[in-house]
Amino acid sequence: MDAGALSRLLAPDGWALLSALPPYDEERALALATRLHAEGFDPDLVATALTQSRLRARAHAKFGDFADGMLFTAAGLEQATRLEVAAHHARRYLAAGATTVADLTCGIGADAMAFAGVGLHVVAVDADEVTAAIATVNLRHFPEAVVRHGDGLALDLDGIDAVYADPARRTSSGARVADPAAYAPPLDAVLAVRARVPALGLKVGPGLPHRAVPDDAHAQWVSVDGEVVEAGLWFGALAPEGPGRSALVLRGGRAHVVAGDTGRAEVGPVGAYLYEPDGAVIRAGLVQQVAAEVHGRLVDPTIAYVTADLLVPTAAASAYRVLDEMPFAVKRLRTYLRERGVGRLTVKKRGTAVTPEALRGQLDLRGGAEATVVLTRVAGAQRVLVVEPVAAGEP
């Protein structure tokens, strides 16, 4: 969306049109556009309003009902922090005693909304004029926030207690950027800000390698309902845990933090239960903490599966009851599943090149039963574990 399209959308007739649109339905969008054209609405305005309606529908996954009063760009929505995660960011700043926060790369304003929502004063900056204007719209209900168009790294930080940044990690074509030096702005340029304001928080891609984490940072990987969504680098008063690594697991509206020693867990035979650690726990290198929590051990020193003899509920991993174990061989597995009438198979894997789709084709599944198998290495050997998920709350 360019500045002209945004201006038309923010005009009284444009905003009224956007507000009057029904919930977005891809199958009915063309018919709706045709009807609006026939009623005399400008085609460009209709296209802009329908694009915003579509983005709002997508944004519900991150913002819930707040999305219905917001504006978006496609790239801005893609990178925007989920409201649930942004609230945890905001609590860090409150706990650090900050009163005024500078958001140097505010995008559409998701984190700035969370900061202002807990009473922090916010100076939000974005280098793109249209994006800054959209952030202004999204922050219109928060007198604590002011939005500026410009280079956040050039912002005067006098009177600023803490800084936040979320560098862009996609190219103009939408491809993900893995190299921190290719972030916009580059990671090192943002890290230099802590020489002026020690309380610095950074959102980075969850694929950030451990070697790229500064020695004075607390790095925290975050997952929401099983999906790893980001990593954060926290410095100074924003990192009361001190330097190190942790995982924040958000599931079903509850938060669980995994932290501690990053050493190695014991390795041993498969027991009665198999635990699949949350992705944020794995990215943080804290699988051994899951093993300690469930009084378990790794199935292999190179594989992030934990096994135990007893069921210990944990928010840091999904638990499965082990029903059977065998060496991996397609013919043997096919016979095993046919004898049990398995026609629907969930395949989980770790440490094997076999693809679930190819394996299902080789197994020629038939029957009405369901099963779950785990393909992995156990003590260096390829094995198949037949498992069933443990129901939530099961003793």
For the cut 80, the answer to whether the pLDDT of residue 263 exceeds it is no
Does 320 score more than 90 pLDDT? Answer: yes
* pLDDT at residue 1, rounded to an integer: 82
What's the pLDDT score for residue 260? 87
Does the pLDDT value for residue 322 go beyond 70? yes
Lowest model confidence (mean pLDDT) among 169-183, 187-201, 211-225: 169-183
CA distances from 237 to 216, 240, 241, 242 (A): 12, 6, 9, 9
Do 118 and 237 lie in a common domain?
Answer: yes
Q: Which pLDDT does position 324 carry in this prediction?
A: 97
Between CA 230 and CA 221 the distance in angstroms is: 6
CATH of the domain at 138: 3.40.50.150
Has residue 32 been placed in a domain?
A: yes
pLDDT of 206 higher than 70: yes
Overall number of domains in the chain: 3
Could you tell me if 237 and 327 lie in one domain?
A: no
Rounded to an integer, the average pLDDT of 58-87 is: 96
- Domain for residue 67, yes or no? no
Residue 268 lies inside a defined structural domain of this protein? no
pLDDT of residue 395: 59
| 52 pLDDT more than 70 | yes
282 in any annotated domain: yes
- 45, 185: one domain: no
In a domain, 395, yes or no: no
Is residue 24 in some structural domain? yes
What's the mean per-residue pLDDT of the chain?
A: 95
pLDDT confidence of 269, banded at 50, 70, 90? Answer: very high
Average pLDDT for 301-317: 95
Considering the domain architecture, whether residues 120 and 165 belong to the same structural domain is answered as yes
3-state secondary structure (DSSP) of residue 368 = coil
Residue 31 reports pLDDT greater than 70: yes
Q: Do 174 and 92 share a domain, yes or no?
A: yes
83-119 exposure pattern, b = at least 16 Cβ within 10 A, e = fewer: bbbbbbbbebbeebebebbbbbbbbbbbbbbbbbbee
Are 96 and 75 in contact by the 8 Å Cβ rule? The answer is no
The domain boundary, picked from 255, 289, 322, lies at 255
Residue 124 sits in the same domain as residue 244: yes
What is the per-residue pLDDT for 179?
Answer: 87
Q: Are residues 53 and 127 in the same domain?
A: no
DSSP string, 32-76: HHHHHHHTT--HHHHHHHHHHHHHHHHHHHHHGGGGGG----HHH
8-state DSSP, 23: S
For residues 249 and 291, membership in a common domain is answered with no
Examine residue 137 and state whether it is found in any structural domain, yes or no.
Answer: yes
Please indicate, yes or no, whether residues 371 and 294 belong to a single structural domain of this protein: yes
Do residue 85 and residue 46 come from a single domain? no
CA 103/CA 142 separation, integer angstroms: 15
Residue at 114 is within a domain: yes
Mean pLDDT of 317-327: 97
pLDDT classification of 393: cutoffs 50, 70, 90: low
Same domain (yes/no): 310, 217: no
Last residue of a domain, one of 36, 62, 88: 62
Are residues 34 and 97 both part of a single domain?
no
Residue 42 domain boundaries = 3-62
The span from the CA of 130 to the CA of 135, in Å, is 9
* Radius of gyration for the alpha carbons in the chain, expressed in angstroms and rounded: 25
The pLDDT-based confidence of 175 (bands split at 50, 70, 90) is: confident
pLDDT digits (tens, 9 = 90+) for 3-21: 999 999 999 999 999 999 9
